[in-house]
Amino acid sequence: MTAAEWEQQVAALWADTTIDDRARVDRMRALASDAPHPSLGAFELGGALDSAGDEADADAHYAAATAAGLAEIDPARAAQLAVQHASTLRNLGRTDEAIAMLRAAASHPAVGSAPAVFLALALHSAGRYDEALRVAIEAVEPTLPRYNRSIRAYAAALTES
């Protein structure tokens, strides 16, 4: 199977609303074994497991995707990986790791402001409410048509001692 065919099959599987999570995982497992690069297969299988609520297995596959060099193979997927893996870590109660991963996440148009939004969620889960609110406000501020200076100042004041 060519890389393009593999990509088409992965996209079709994600778009298929007629199958349940377990069937998606089983089909993705087969596709992952045929991936044009191990990091791609590990990432997609991690995503399927994550979507099925199997965060512990998803964590292992996300880590494997990183170790196999996803960032060098597919920067867009690597940006998605940072968000998805950090979200999984947060769901597993590993908020400090999630926060560190999201703070280190590279910017990429494929995810937009999602890393900041997920960082706010992780900070909230860690009980760092003012910091979480500040991050969320700062993620939204650039999209506002006005009041930007005031919003930036109010956000900064949330975490000033």
The pLDDT tens digits of the residues spanning 96-152 come to 999 999 999 989 999 999 999 999 999 999 999 999 999 999 999 999 999 999 999
* Contact assessment for residue 83 and residue 117, using Cβ atoms and an 8 Å cutoff: no
Give the pair of three-digit tokens for residue 44.
């997609």
Confidence of residue 1 (pLDDT cuts 50, 70, 90): confident
Which domains are seen in the chain, by residue range? 3-94 (1.25.40.10)
d(CA 10, CA 77): 13
Cα–Cα dist 24/31, whole Å: 10
pLDDT bucket at 17, cuts 50 / 70 / 90: very high
